[in-house]
Structure 1
């Protein structure tokens, strides 16, 4: 956005994006403030009227949560949706960025109650979640809110910053906060074990209060927040406990910055009867470190490493606010949908080549795993997938039409996350590229801690980008197309094969694996465009390959001879941020047999379900603000299943 257009003023010099990208990482706060002085004379020209800040939160004037009856247990398993990655003001970065919400707020929001956003307006989810976990950063847990730290958000509330400020003052506060935190990190104070213990107990107590077996599951957890070289290069993990028997204190990166040591801690706790596992997330901003071919010491991976990783990290989070970690266009050039939710943490982070992306995405990791299975005899990267939000505002803001951001001073209002309320040149605020988050889908017998945890252990999980798309995915040797219309479809699919997260083997001569996939749209969401099966396999040369198969299409479309399919169309009206379900389908299913199967090759298969195009959160914001929508203006939300592996 041109600054001159923002103010309605003329002849203001434009700051070139590439110059800003090169400089922001290296400029000090003082230098940036000096730069902002040049904007001061224009500050009076711009004070955004942002309707997303109104009305102010009033607990006496909120809607009650919608009713949520208990879900009956089912041997055929129910689909449950939730968020296993939510922060409160107990996390240092959340507090610094303006959050004041506490653990009880997380569960109240997840159950459908209205809570106050950090910017002082009400936020409320349309439908309650089935489960949630508070995963505050273990490092300096709870200390920032009790310390006398000097940040703009400790001098004024977020609401005061946004309502009383103008473009200049808001930008100044933004830069002071973001750059100072980038320099200081989580260590704003000295570690305090008493505060850590008290804050951990607050987290445990809240989860215990809100756990309602059959209706709502509250997991106890935290985030181990290590990084490589710089704070924006994540190798974070969320630790989730199976029940109320938990560790005396969280294991943090202050104890060790090596994931191998986290796994050893989990092993020691398991020996004491405490059951937990870790969930890696944001591999997309790990710069190849999340799924690297070497360990934390740079040494080649071993069978012992592979076994430990597979045991303690059965699933990975691949869809969340800070972007998607399924794949990238530079890694999957033949994948026309690989450019979904590509996000960065700071200006200048755009990858220069494939080498900067390898080890940072799920599909690439699965390919590395089957390569190593062939060459080394073990696979360290055999994991399932989920989505979650990584919201730092005690909420799960997955609804595009009502998105409320992740870190309040960066994206807590429509004006902030679209740059309309600041003087920031395009590309400086990473929140511009963020998504609205994701959800974890779990197929479990019942909505209890134990049942959901065990389902995640067996990787019977899927990720969504926010909508509650339901998807079943099975593989076996004896399925046929008629099974899809059989009243006993699910029972027979389980009996004759394996579900997502499983493995098939022992192919008989001349046979090839058969797959069943069935997807159902979100009841209040968009129709479905297509279902795809993504295959990866290792060839005789030891290298892995991938191929995407369109197996079910909505409408009267047919798969072309080259495997491609025509686009479903686009009904989005950008002027009103609306769409129509006049295209697409409410449900799609397919029987598919791998036409390229070779029994001697290790392989994996997973399903991806795409919705028709719908407005992105930024388009809804643009309509509210009366501005031009940012790009991309539309997206295709999706669900991605855990893989099924084939081993010779």
Structure 2
């Protein structure tokens, strides 16, 4: 008997030691391997297909024009981005890793776009991954036989992913994109941000526990590889911040805390890339009351940001609203909770409602519950994006439509109006401006992109495959939820105030209402350029001169030009000195309606199996029939001419509305602004074309059940996890395109040349 006991004990000890050893090897990343940038499968798209697309669009262009309209996506992630790797895991409904090369094949044959750029988070791009990224993009470009007339232009870039914990420290995300592909034409190293994003994507990103690899044993290798990925990310030593970028070794981790320093470090390498802000109004990481104003300071070099991403799969950052989340933010981070405002419910107001209802259900008296509700409002107002953590056992549905812009077009989660595109175009910086000098302003051209994290550029061509073509994701089983979401306390009426220090110690994804966000992800937008040809240089020149526009996904055609009294014409993106508005001409043509499935040439190039896995069996596959343009709206913004001028009075949205007759040839009209001369101040104008509605993923993100007064009383969210299943959660929503603005600098007639 004694021997049996000793034998069992020995087995138990051996099993324990074996498990400890296995667990150590899993968590430390010793069982995984670094993933490659992948291999491009498809060859170049046949010349006849490219020519047919060009002719189809050429028939809709203005008479006598030799310009082409090309479409692309300048914001794409592979699983070289930490968050993308996490969403690719099978436990998150992922389909496995998505290497850079997948983006090439997807761009060519699934979305069939003309240009794209890889922009993985710099915070996770090790020297080895940067080398693999460059090799994969070069491999993609090499498939084009004629580099002066390629079927697809591929660009190298990275994302500077900055997140500040307070409004004063937050500058947001910027994509950095290079013209050339050679080593001396791109950055020696991706340049990362510092702070919360670096902590979440590089330093503190949680690996997978050994238990997960056992629970999902058939997929164990991907969990091993994730932990290896995280280990290799952390192992890269930080560069010496005292050294200029050009003197750093190639194998260190370079970072820049502020936009101006990012620009200086790139310039020190002799490079002048496109630097494109994006996600400016995304509230899941942007602290309430953050505004564009501080980024107009000369130290941040706002003139270097010639383009802005107005729309992506994360939502539309265009529109300014006057609602407030909080008021009177203090240095100690206390704040006042404002009341509801014209259809907008501040989250702190909803927090008070939740706590008061719980208190009453617990048997508390009206006076006590009112006091607790006020405490909830006060505490959550001061907790920034992490306000929800003050409420124990809260669920995403509890928050109804609080914090959301209910009258914006496909807004991002927790849309921040003070970092909207319209607000940025309306403000001016008058600091140190001498008499006769112009104030500092943003002069952006508009693009849209996808921000897809599954190596799928240009996802908006069809509204299908929500879990592949949007950022939707979530665990397949609630047992995995605690890996990403902290263990919840039982719901009660107590309010849990958390200090800034306590919040800073939490992993980044716990702060951002990860589950509720899934109801807001859409398929991505497109960047469109007017260009004389398809070459890399011609596309780049169009981007540089801002002859660009944005669409919410489909390939709408759009023109927006100004003709002065002398007959000189300038296109969208131009800046003009003028004493009169001149005449503006705008035209929009609807995108082609789509056939199901994929064209034969795409299936022949990739094979049926890859078409299904990469494209979800659906490609850009146009008919000969176009969608209809329903109306064209003109937005006018008159930037501030004196400090503290009320921005709400400077944005005319819409300034004009033109109703369109149904026509396959599109819609056009001309207009002038007689008040431009009367006002005697600068102004900018852009056009917004609205196409007929189509079923759109997450078009109604909260799916509210409303009472007789229109209040949201119950939410039905579209989760990415086990709760919603494979439903695409579509609702009818119109499609849009936004021209880049034309900027008019007012000059009195006797000194004006009225030229470009």
TM-score range, shorter chain: 0.5 to 0.7
User: Residue 534 of structure 1 aligns with which residue?
Assistant: 635
Q: Measure the CA separation in 2 of the matches of 1:64 and 1:248.
A: 29
Number of aligned residues: 452
Report the alpha carbon displacement of residue 294 of structure 1 after superposing the two structures with TM.
Answer: 1.6
Question: Per the alignment, in what secondary structure is the counterpart of residue 68 of structure 1?
Answer: helix
Task: Determine whether 1:318 maps to 2:310.
Answer: yes
- RMSD, aligned α-carbons: 4.4
CA deviations 1:478-510 (Å, max 9, x no partner) are 38xxxxxxxxxxxxxxx7121111122231xxx
8 A Cα contact 2:312 2:451, kept in partner: yes
Q: Considering fraction of residues, name the structure with more helix.
A: 2
Task: Determine whether 1:226 maps to 2:226.
Answer: no
- 5 Å-filtered alignment, 1:62-461, equals 68-69=49-50, 76-98=66-88, 99-112=96-109, 124-125=110-111, 128-141=112-125, 194-210=127-143, 212-214=147-149, 215-229=151-165, 235-244=172-181, 245-253=185-193, 254-269=254-269, 272=270, 274-285=271-282, 286-287=286-287, 292-295=292-295, 301-302=297-298, 305=300, 308-310=301-303, 312-330=304-322, 339-344=408-413, 350=414, 357-358=417-418, 360-369=419-428, 377-396=438-457, 397-405=459-467, 410-411=472-473, 428-461=515-548
Q: 1:604 to 1:478 in 2, by over 3 A?
A: same
Q: Measure the CA separation in 2 of the matches of 1:412 and 1:465.
A: 25
Structure 1: gaps of 5 or more residues: 1-58, 113-123, 142-192, 345-349, 480-494, 556-582
Task: Tell me the TM-score normalised to structure 1 length.
Answer: 0.61
Q: Measure the CA separation in 1 of the matches of 2:532 and 2:467.
A: 33
Question: Per the alignment, in what secondary structure is the counterpart of residue 398 of structure 1?
Answer: helix
Q: Measure the CA separation in 2 of the matches of 1:447 and 1:316.
A: 22
CA deviations 1:9-64 (Å, max 9, x no partner) are xxxxxxxxxxxxxxxxxxxxxxxxxxxxxxxxxxxxxxxxxxxxxxxxxx9x9999
Task: After superposing the two structures, state which structure 1 stretch, 375-384 or 584-593, moved more.
Answer: 375-384
8 A Cα contact 1:323 1:434, kept in partner: yes
Q: 1:412 to 1:474 in 2, by over 3 A?
A: farther
Q: 1:291 to 1:219 in 2, by over 3 A?
A: farther
Report the alpha carbon displacement of residue 329 of structure 1 after superposing the two structures with TM.
Answer: 4.3
Q: 1:538 to 1:257 in 2, by over 3 A?
A: closer
Q: Measure the CA separation in 1 of the matches of 2:130 and 2:44.
A: 34
Task: After superposing the two structures, state which structure 1 stretch, 83-92 or 204-213, moved more.
Answer: 204-213
Q: 1:616 to 1:250 in 2, by over 3 A?
A: same
Within the candidate set 681, 688, 694, 1:614 is matched to 694
Q: Measure the CA separation in 1 of the matches of 2:631 and 2:530.
A: 22
Question: Per the alignment, in what secondary structure is the counterpart of residue 550 of structure 1?
Answer: strand
Report the alpha carbon displacement of residue 632 of structure 1 after superposing the two structures with TM.
Answer: 7.5
8 A Cα contact 1:219 1:243, kept in partner: yes
Q: 1:634 to 1:328 in 2, by over 3 A?
A: farther
User: Residue 12 of structure 1 aligns with which residue?
Assistant: none
Report the alpha carbon displacement of residue 586 of structure 1 after superposing the two structures with TM.
Answer: 4.6
Q: 1:331 to 1:605 in 2, by over 3 A?
A: farther
Q: Measure the CA separation in 1 of the matches of 2:638 and 2:302.
A: 21
Task: Determine whether 1:521 maps to 2:590.
Answer: yes
Q: 1:208 to 1:288 in 2, by over 3 A?
A: farther
Q: 1:456 to 1:96 in 2, by over 3 A?
A: same
Q: Measure the CA separation in 2 of the matches of 1:628 and 1:374.
A: 60
Q: 1:283 to 1:535 in 2, by over 3 A?
A: same
Task: Tell me the TM-score normalised to structure 2 length.
Answer: 0.53
Q: Measure the CA separation in 2 of the matches of 1:140 and 1:631.
A: 32
CA deviations 1:561-619 (Å, max 9, x no partner) are xxxxxxxxxxxxxxxxxxxxxx6765010010113323521111000000122211258
Q: 1:324 to 1:108 in 2, by over 3 A?
A: same
